[in-house]
Amino acid sequence: MDWWARRFRWKRASWRWPTSSTHCCRRARTRRPGPWTPRWLISTHNAVACSTHAVWMRCCAAARSWTRSAANSRPHRHDPGCKAMNPFGRIRQRLMNRPDSEHGQAIVRIVLISLILSYVLVPSVRHSLPLHQHTGVLVIVLTGLGLGLALFGWLLWRPDRSDARRILGMLADYGLMAAGMIQMGEPLAWVYVVVMWVTVGNGLRYGNRYLYLAVAMAVVSFSTTLSMTEYWQRNQRLGVGLAVGLAAVPLYFSSLLRQLTRATAEARRASEAKSRFLANMSHEFRTPLNGLSGMTEVLATTRLDDEQRECLKTIQASTRSLLALVEEVLDISAIEAGKLRINASDFALRDTLQAIALILEPQAKTKGLDYRANVAENVPTLLHGDAIHLQQILLNLVGNAVKFTDHGRVQLTVAVSNAQAATAVHARAGLRLRFEILDTGIGVPVDMRPRLFEAFEQADTGLARRFEGSGLGTTIARGLVQSMGGAIGFDENPEGGSLFWFELPFGPATAKPATSTPPVLQDADATTIPGNVIAFADPFLRHRARVRSMMILVADDHLANRLVLQRLLQKAGHRVTCVDGGEAVLDALAETDYDAAIVDLHMPGVSGLDMLKQLRVMQAGGKPGTPVVVLSADVTPESIRSCEQAGAYAFLAKPVAAVKLLDTLADIAVNQKLRQADPVIVQRGPALSGVVLDPAVLDELAELGMGKEFEREFIQQCLSDAAACVVQLGKAAADQDWERLREHAHAVKGVSSNLGLVGLAEQGGELMRLSEAQLRAEWRQRLEQLNHGLMQGREALALRAQKASDGDVTGNGDSG
């Protein structure tokens, strides 16, 4: 080996890395000498071997340069978490983000030359030619292989687009193919097919300009072959015809390619126009739906007779039906555009199935159907996946089963897929669940099954008239399942009816199942009370009991939307200011400190998004910014993402549900401290220790005009909650669970302040601030004070109610 090294003046280099102690996964840092060049490259002393060796060395240098450039970003193979990457993986990673497919042409070039080399080395071919002729062909083919490797090394070294490299490759291809066909004659006549293939490939990969250039090179090279080869001179007519075809076929192919490109562009424009149309129409539908839905929710809380309430239910059902149709069209649009976002998190499967049952079981019972949901024992309680889209899939498929079944049963079954049922690996590495929805309904006609999952398809016109719907349910289900990495299908139910199934992969849940221990209070001065308060049936009543009155700014360019939000928020006990544009929002927030702002995304002039960006600049570096809730009928992923990036607190779709809006405001009240120094004690008068009731709180409630019945129910529920909290506080003190005691004291403080019971709220606040030593010594005395304060509050509220019934309500705050 040393003799060969001296003969060709090769040198064994030490592979040292200049700037980093870690580099390629395959080589650790070392001063060991590098490897010798492979022996097969120096098997002969002729010029071909030397040129091939030179090409090989260039490729190695390019590879080493590339490896060194990536060294700093790659971990050492002994570093934790390092995964060894083979050379093919490194090459694939290098070529992955190239702007064109030139690397594909380079790989095809090397493969084709290798095949020609193998053909030339076949003994029968080699012995059919004189030695000098065979040697000449071998030199040409090896030269082509060397040039192919050099061009590929150049591409690895500089992966950017290079017109010079493309043209050089084309010259090498056509020149060497012509030289080989001239040198070998008839045995290489079949290379004409390769010439045609390479010409069409250049046009497909690089476009029409390169196609015309490739056609010109191909015609010149093949014409040269015709004039200099004895075989082609004997078959001159055939050769001329092939030469004409070499120009005509690619050019005709080019015209077809232009037509295909034009048709593809038109289809893309039509698809984009459809998406814009759907987005615009959904926005236009949602805007009036927002007013309709919001006003019916407000109307439902008023006193109505039976006939009025029945009419209201019909209006609400029609509104929900129209909204569901709009949602379906938007869903299928997002799925077709590939813009569906998968949000995976831990969830309880049984909670999802219970939510499905709450929606669909009443419909099944109305029709006299037996609805059942069975979950196999080996299915984990907690899963990691997209629970929202899983629920949407089940709602579509189970909803169809209930809709198209008039008698019999609908059964939902969940089990581990057959491929994993016999193993326990899924507990650690995730699992694949199979959902089956079986019904005894009308089934699916045979002629419809091939297009069962196509959009806007229903069985026939008669069914379309009998059963409502858009025909998008199964299409949406299929799109969601495929986006989540699953499979979906249909089987016929032997009992009559249908059997839809789908399989989805789920990961192992990281969270532990919820326990019965009460949650830890995160903020002792939060303005809402925890979940131990009894829930009201009326969402506005429940919200008033949990969240103190907030100052809220509402911005929308539609008067109807402003009126809806104003009525909803006032009914929930908040003070509302309405404006009609983004400029007015900025002016209002510059003059007044609001606890929250609710703005429409699309407003003339300064839009909601622009307003958010300007607001963050205005409030940068000062006190905490105003939480902004964005309402919009444009629910595309791009709009949601833009609002999140601009700093919106939440994004709610129109028509907004009152419960969602109020829950969002409750979250703001918890996570953002309000501007008041003491957000619970009412500050309308001096907070003296002798004051029991501040009547201004309930007077404000009465001014909203919701009726005496509403006020009476509100007071009764709040007093009931306060009494329950005091009882739970005593139990926590007896158990010496001081955190739970503070939690219930906070609840007493919150609910009593909503009634204006200032004294009771002060006692709850003081109890929250006591140390454990003080609580251990004083809890009995403090508990007696709370009971006494609650009794005084009941008496003060009863006295106020009596005065109100006598028409003599006063604003005296020392009624105790």
CA distance 129 to 124: 9
The percent of residues above 90 in pLDDT, for the chain, comes to 10
- Residue 275's pLDDT is 67
Confidence of residue 74 (pLDDT cuts 50, 70, 90): very low
User: Same structural domain for residues 631 and 707?
Assistant: no
Contact 471, 328 (CB under 8 A): no
Cis status of the peptide bond prior to 130, with omega within 30 of 0: no
CA distance 226 to 240: 8
Average pLDDT score over the chain: 74
Query: Which token pair is 337?
Result: 């555009």
Domain annotation covers residue 816: no
- Residue pLDDT, tens place only, 29-64: 444 444 444 443 333 334 444 444 454 455 455 444
- Residue 518's pLDDT is 33
CA distance 160 to 275: 34
Mean pLDDT of 71-99: 57
User: Same structural domain for residues 186 and 46?
Assistant: yes
> Which range, of 176-190, 441-455, 597-611, averages the lowest pLDDT?
441-455
If you ran DSSP here, which 8-state letter would residue 96 be given? T
Report how many domains make up the chain.
Answer: 4
Domain annotation covers residue 32: no
How crowded is the C-beta side of 137, counted as CA atoms within 13 Å? 25
Q: 433 vs 99, which has greater pLDDT?
A: 433
Main-chain phi, psi angles of 335, to 5 degrees: -65, -45
Q: What angle do CA 162, 167, 172 make, to 5 degrees?
A: 125
> Considering only CA atoms, which of 388, 482, 373, 483 is closest in space to residue 437?
373
- Residue 526's pLDDT is 33
Mean pLDDT of 440-449: 77
| Domain endpoint, select from 260, 278, 301 | 260
Strands of 701-740, DSSP E: none
User: Same structural domain for residues 476 and 545?
Assistant: no
pLDDT tops 80 at residue 535: no
Q: How far is CA 813 from the centre of its chain?
A: 54
- Residue pLDDT, tens place only, 121-177: 888 777 777 888 888 888 998 998 999 899 888 988 888 888 899 999 999 999 989
Domain containing residue 624: CATH number: 3.40.50.2300
Confidence of residue 816 (pLDDT cuts 50, 70, 90): very low
| Domain endpoint, select from 260, 281, 312 | 260
- Residue 538's pLDDT is 64
Mean pLDDT of 315-344: 70
Confidence of residue 598 (pLDDT cuts 50, 70, 90): very high
Domain annotation covers residue 667: yes
- Within 10 A of 341 (CB to CB), how many other CB atoms are there? 11
Q: What angle do CA 38, 43, 44 make, to 5 degrees?
A: 140
Confidence of residue 278 (pLDDT cuts 50, 70, 90): low
If you ran DSSP here, which 8-state letter would residue 424 be given? S
Domain containing residue 496: CATH number: 3.30.565.10
- Residue 552's pLDDT is 94
Query: Which token pair is 572?
Result: 């929930």
| Domain endpoint, select from 229, 260, 291 | 260
- Residue 63's pLDDT is 47
- Residue pLDDT, tens place only, 351-391: 889 888 887 888 888 888 999 999 998 889 889 998 888 98
- Residue pLDDT, tens place only, 713-759: 778 878 888 888 888 888 888 888 888 888 788 778 777 777 788 88
User: Same structural domain for residues 107 and 192?
Assistant: yes
User: Same structural domain for residues 105 and 241?
Assistant: yes
- Residue 216's pLDDT is 92
- Kindly give the residue spans of alpha helices, DSSP state H, lying in 367-453: 387-403, 418-421, 426-429
Exposure class string for 278-303: b at 16+ Cβ within 10 A, else e: bbeebbebbbbbbbbbbbbbbebbee
**Helix or strand holding residue 72 (H, E):** none
Domain annotation covers residue 461: yes
User: Same structural domain for residues 353 and 453?
Assistant: yes
> Considering only CA atoms, which of 525, 573, 520 is closest in space to residue 547?
573
Query: Which token pair is 615?
Result: 């607001």
- Residue pLDDT, tens place only, 670-708: 775 444 433 333 333 333 346 788 777 777 666 655 567
User: Same structural domain for residues 432 and 558?
Assistant: no
User: Same structural domain for residues 565 and 659?
Assistant: yes
**Helix or strand holding residue 577 (H, E):** strand 575-579
User: Same structural domain for residues 235 and 180?
Assistant: yes
CA distance 29 to 15: 8
122 sits in the region (left: phi over 0; alpha: psi -120 to 50; else beta) called beta
User: Same structural domain for residues 175 and 44?
Assistant: yes
User: Same structural domain for residues 141 and 229?
Assistant: yes
> Considering only CA atoms, which of 592, 658, 601, 604 is closest in space to residue 629?
601
Provide the residue type at 161 as one letter: R
pLDDT tops 60 at residue 101: yes
CA distance 103 to 97: 11
pLDDT tops 60 at residue 20: no
pLDDT tops 70 at residue 482: yes
Radius of gyration, alpha carbons of the chain? 39
3-state secondary structure of 514: coil
Main-chain phi, psi angles of 500, to 5 degrees: -95, 140
CA distance 63 to 156: 7
Domain annotation covers residue 655: yes
- Residue pLDDT, tens place only, 240-251: 999 999 889 888
Query: Which token pair is 635?
Result: 């629910």
User: Same structural domain for residues 398 and 492?
Assistant: yes
Domain annotation covers residue 108: yes
> Considering only CA atoms, which of 590, 593, 598, 608 is closest in space to residue 566?
598
> Which range, of 654-658, 672-676, 765-769, averages the lowest pLDDT?
672-676
Contact 75, 81 (CB under 8 A): yes
- Within 10 A of 331 (CB to CB), how many other CB atoms are there? 20
Q: Which domain holds residue 140?
A: 38-260
Query: Which token pair is 185?
Result: 């004659």
- Residue 411's pLDDT is 92
Domain annotation covers residue 294: no
Confidence of residue 504 (pLDDT cuts 50, 70, 90): very high
CA distance 352 to 386: 11
Domain annotation covers residue 220: yes
Q: 339 vs 577, which has greater pLDDT?
A: 577
